[in-house]
Amino acid sequence: MNVILLGPPGAGKGTQAAQLRRRWPLPHISTGAMLREAIRSGTPLGREVKQVIEGGGLIDDEVMTRLVTDRLSQRDAAAGFWLDGYPRTIPQAQCLDQFMQGRQPLVVVDIALSDAEVLHRLASRLVCEECGTNAQDTGADPRCHNCGGRLVPRVDDADTIVRNRLEVYRRQTAPLIEYYAGRPTFHQVNGAQLPDDVTLEIIRAIEATRSS
Ligand code: AMP
């Protein structure tokens, strides 16, 4: 099962992929996490993308498509994947469609969330320095529940950068909803619910596709 999770920054794509993996244990491929790992490790790719990510812009379609198609070609993704953060532009979606020819159809889940809710959520989002797990700032000791690592704000979650990311989302990524909306495997869910309720809505939507 090949699933794309769409949605604005902060919609919960990463959180949902982590939850959904318990139901369907496919690899969670997060392009943002791959790029942040490249920055942390100081690879040539990391050095190339650091400034753009920290400003809330998008990395070149060509660089991203190479990164993703290499990852999707690995053996663990042959039975399917949860793809989070790609595609983010129409050209990326076209490249992915080309790459997917001869494979199972893409299931597309759009997690909808208002701008106001995005700004509210990201103002208190923390991320683990060690493993990248997301958390909310509760004012208590900021330790990761997954690995005990230190929780810190993401550089690109600063208010002005989030506003830029939302603008980029509106211009470049939101048109993907129309791109996929006519497909029988497209689903839209309400992201402004408790995470477990969003997960249930996604599971129901995917199961409806699989049984039809
Ligand atoms: P995310 O963790 O998905 O919010 O991604 C963090 C940042 O990585 C984005 O703001 C972009 O700068 C970059 N990025 C991630 N995925 C893509 C993509 N498919 N195309 C272009 N840039 C991307």
Cis link prior to 87 (omega < 30° from 0)? yes
Residue 162 lies inside a defined structural domain of this protein: no
**Residues paired with 112 in a beta bridge:** 190
pLDDT by position in tens, the chain (length 212): 999 999 999 999 999 999 999 999 999 999 999 999 999 999 999 999 999 999 999 999 999 999 999 999 999 999 999 999 999 999 999 999 999 999 999 999 999 999 999 999 999 999 998 888 888 888 887 799 889 999 999 999 999 999 999 999 999 999 999 999 999 999 999 999 999 999 999 999 999 887 77
Residue 202 lies inside a defined structural domain of this protein: yes
Residue 7 lies inside a defined structural domain of this protein: yes
Separation of alpha carbons 99 and 95, rounded Å: 6
Q: How many residues does the chain have?
A: 212
Based on the residue annotation, tell me whether 183 is a catalytic residue of this protein. Answer: no
Nearest protein Cα to ligand 1, atom 2? 32
Residue 152 lies inside a defined structural domain of this protein: no
Distances (CA, A) of 112 to 9, 57, 94, 102, 206: 10, 21, 22, 30, 16
Cβ neighbour number for residue 175 with a 10 Å cutoff:
12
Residue 49 lies inside a defined structural domain of this protein: yes
* Confidence (pLDDT) at 191: 98
Residue 186 lies inside a defined structural domain of this protein: yes
Residue 212 CA to ligand 1 center (angstroms) comes to 33
**What is the extent of the structural domain holding 73?**
2-112+173-211
- How many Cα neighbours within 13 Å face the side chain of 175? 10
Separation of alpha carbons 74 and 70, rounded Å: 7
Residue 182 lies inside a defined structural domain of this protein: yes
* Confidence (pLDDT) at 138: 83
Residue 5 CA to ligand 1 center (angstroms) comes to 13
Q: Which residues are near ligand 1 (CB < 6 Å)?
A: 9, 31-32, 35, 52-53, 56-59, 64, 85-86, 88, 92, 156, 165
* Confidence (pLDDT) at 98: 98
Of the candidates 40, 125, 143, 171, the residue annotated as catalytic is 125
Domains: count for the chain: 1
Q: What is the CATH number of the domain that holds 7?
A: 3.40.50.300
